[in-house]
Amino acid sequence: MTEPKESAASAGPSNFITDIIDADLASGKHTQVVTRFPPEPNGYLHIGHAKSICLNFGIAQKYPGARCHLRFDDTNPAAEDVEYVDAIERDVRWLGFDYGEHRYFASDYFERLHDFAVELIESGKAYVDSVSDAEVKRLRGSVTEPGTPSPYRDRSVEENLDLFARMRAGEFAEGEHVLRAKIDLASPNMKMRDPAIYRIKKAHHHRTGDRWTIYPLYDFTHCLSDAIEGITHSICTLEFENNRELYDWVLDNVDAPCHPQQIEFARLNLSYTLMSKRKLLQLVTEGHVRGWDDPRMPTLAGLRRRGVTPEAIVAFCDMVGVAKANSLVDVGKLEYCIRNDLNPRAPRVMGVLRPLEVIVESYPEGQVEELDAASFPHDVGKEGSRKVPFSRRLFIEASDFDKDPPKGYYRLSPGAEVRLRYAYVVRCTGVEEDAEGRPVRLRCVHDPATRGAAAPEGRRVKGTIHWVSADHAIDAEVRVYDRLFEVERPEGLEDLNPGSLEVIADAKLEPSVKGSAVGQHFQLERQGYFRVDEDSANGKLVLNRTVTLRDTWQKTQDKLAAEAAPQEPEKRAKATKKQPEAPRKEAPPERLTEAEERERGRLVGLGVEEDGARRLVQVAPALALFDATLAAGGVSGEATAKWIVNELLGRLRDGEVKVTGDGLAALLRLVDAGSLKGPAAKRVLAEMVERGGEPEALVASLGIEEVDADALDGILDEVLAAHPEEVARYREGKKNLIGFFLGQVMRKSGGQADPNAARKRLMTRLEA
């Protein structure tokens, strides 16, 4: 019976909670794991809830036979509504989690909860108090002073039973009586000073109607609902730490079916984001946003509408992990996960947000060419192409033209050349301006020899810009979102960003997107990821900008602060408000040159994570290796950059490295296929750095072999047999020796053992 279940090591990362569960399974305390996600249906779920959902449902997926319940904590009829119940169910399913038939409502337990309350009264552990709320508060004392008993604390069991029955029967007004647990008025934990467990509330409940006029309070309801459902691990956020004593007290003092363990973890806090449901509700009811699903909201409904996929949210939750201390997570991490997820799924198209007309005067009137364009860059490993019509009259992005360009400007300016993506190199020969001197139309000539991607002989054209054919373009409304709050730690509506929504009514898109369905994702080249919004109708597309291609926020903020600094104190105050209060973890990045900046943009477009891209572009041999590796094929930009930055950057900066792009690509493909684990791959790479060579040959010459379950057990046998003293000390309680054993196993396996699986097996063996 006590044989622990092997968990699927790959399903979700381990954390201190899964360590507790592993131990409970190993010790036989539990044979099956049951968790729950307990929202109150008084608002929509937000990204913070997603963290709790991923944790609780993730555990259910990780352990065979485990399950996670969705339980609505609906004990406060005044704030709750079926609209929220439906939205919560939809959002949990959308995230990809299935509670099957295990959907419950605390209100389903009202009768049983009532009986538990009666049980407490009968054993003298609860009483009806009849002083006012204010008096209850006053009598409770303070952290330094013990509480004082209410004059009703010693009512007889009979009187308490009678009053409680009459409370239930609706004989009293709200606030006239309250049922309190009789615990300890001198407890240092204020929650234990005779907390109220039932109150009179004459409100209509969305499920029980008018059946009840008394409602149980959270601390009484939650632990008992958990026990009724046979929850084994009741995971909640840190602010419930003080409630744990009460949770345990209630379960210890009634005849509860079981005693779940409450475990607290740190809630998710995101910069530039508010997550209090009360404040989100205020945004909705006061019309600061268009609804709970406004794409600027941190709600799952809002994120979905904006174009964020469930996979991106789950990846983000995995990335931030589960910790025991509160912290503020940079919203840039979420944006990073969103880009990463959309990169391989969003086909590339061209769209011009702020059109500037261009006449290609050398191109024949009436001629149209259908040019080939790939829908995905080659590194994402996806097929797909489309045709883009080219003609004499085009639109380009107004910001891609500068009449008076600064040095190092690679886009279009009078007399300068630029490549039109997938099409021709054009030179600007004239500018027509309006009365205020703003360009309204450009005249260009094209070079017919440069069609497609053909390199213009002997000339370097540095910039490439996007465009659409004016007569073929389709109209779209594009909604460009910025952060809803303009300060890092917003507190309320006073911190709203007035420029969080910009509606561009007359954007022009290439015709291939015509008729796209609601929910379709695109990357508008050079601009960002977009999703077709529900408001699209009658052939008119409405797009939401999900996220830009790279992080422009910090840059804009820096610029604002710099501009504001000299003269305007008011603006400066605002700008400095936007600066993070806490010291930044990393040193401020060095400024990149214009050319490096461009390269960085390109790398980010290839899926390279921001910081990695910044570091790569500053080391020319690293950038060359990166490009050579991608050119070899079968690898992602993201992984390639990670390996180069983490393992090779210093060496590449300092001198000769014998790794070729083909070699590195071959190595990464082995890692990707799972036939080479990280630590073993690093050994192979170290050889390649020193001596060059092919990874397959090195794997053989280094004697690296696959480690399957049997081989792993063999290695464990050897390691445990070789260290009897450590085994004994571990069993006496020196649990942190696990790291020592794991190190031995990894070494013996040549770095090829799966560390998660090894850790699991080790614990099982050591506990046996």
Residue 322 CB, nearest approach to ligand ATP (Å): 9
Q: Which is nearer to ligand ATP, 247 or 741 (CB)?
A: 247
> Cα–Cα distances in Å, from 409 out to 203, 384, 446, 568, 593?
67, 32, 20, 30, 12
**Do residues 334 and 316 lie in contact, with contact meaning Cβ atoms separated by under 8 Å?**
yes
Asked about 40 being catalytic, the answer comes back as yes
Residue 81 CB, nearest approach to ligand ATP (Å): 13
CB atoms within 10 A of CB 680: 24
Q: What are the structure tokens assigned to 311, written together?
A: 């996979």
Q: Which residues bind ligand ATP (CB under 6 A)?
A: 38-40, 48-49, 51-52, 236-237, 267-268, 275-278
The residue with its CB nearest to ligand ATP is: 48
Phi, then psi, of 745 in degrees rounded to 5: -65, -45
CB atoms within 10 A of CB 159: 14
Residue with tokens 């464990």: 716
Residue 677 CB, nearest approach to ligand ATP (Å): 32
Stretch (H or E) spanning 649: helix 649-654
Q: Which is nearer to ligand ATP, 48 or 695 (CB)?
A: 48
Q: Which is nearer to ligand ATP, 236 or 442 (CB)?
A: 236
Closest to 623 measured CA to CA, from 586, 595, 585, 590:
595
Residue 259 CB, nearest approach to ligand ATP (Å): 19
Name 357's Cβ contacts closer than 8 Å, sequence gap at least 6.
393, 394, 395, 440, 441, 442, 470
Residue 323 CB, nearest approach to ligand ATP (Å): 11
Residue 240 CB, nearest approach to ligand ATP (Å): 7
Q: Which is nearer to ligand ATP, 230 or 755 (CB)?
A: 230
Closest to 69 measured CA to CA, from 81, 56, 82:
56
Asked about 267 being catalytic, the answer comes back as yes
Residue 251 CB, nearest approach to ligand ATP (Å): 18
Annotated catalytic residue within 267, 354, 441, 765: 267
Q: Which is nearer to ligand ATP, 267 or 571 (CB)?
A: 267
Q: Which is nearer to ligand ATP, 92 or 192 (CB)?
A: 92
**Do residues 42 and 80 lie in contact, with contact meaning Cβ atoms separated by under 8 Å?**
yes
Q: Which is nearer to ligand ATP, 52 or 450 (CB)?
A: 52
Name 709's Cβ contacts closer than 8 Å, sequence gap at least 6.
757
Residue 17 CB, nearest approach to ligand ATP (Å): 13
3-state secondary structure of 443: strand
Stretch (H or E) spanning 88: helix 82-94
Pairing of the two strands 67-72 and 34-37: parallel
Q: Which is nearer to ligand ATP, 329 or 418 (CB)?
A: 329
> Cα–Cα distances in Å, from 120 out to 249, 480, 501, 591, 723?
11, 57, 55, 68, 54
Annotated catalytic residue within 277, 306, 443, 748: 277
> How far is Cα 329 from Cα 315, in angstroms, rounded to an integer?
14
Q: State the catalytic residues.
A: 40, 267, 277
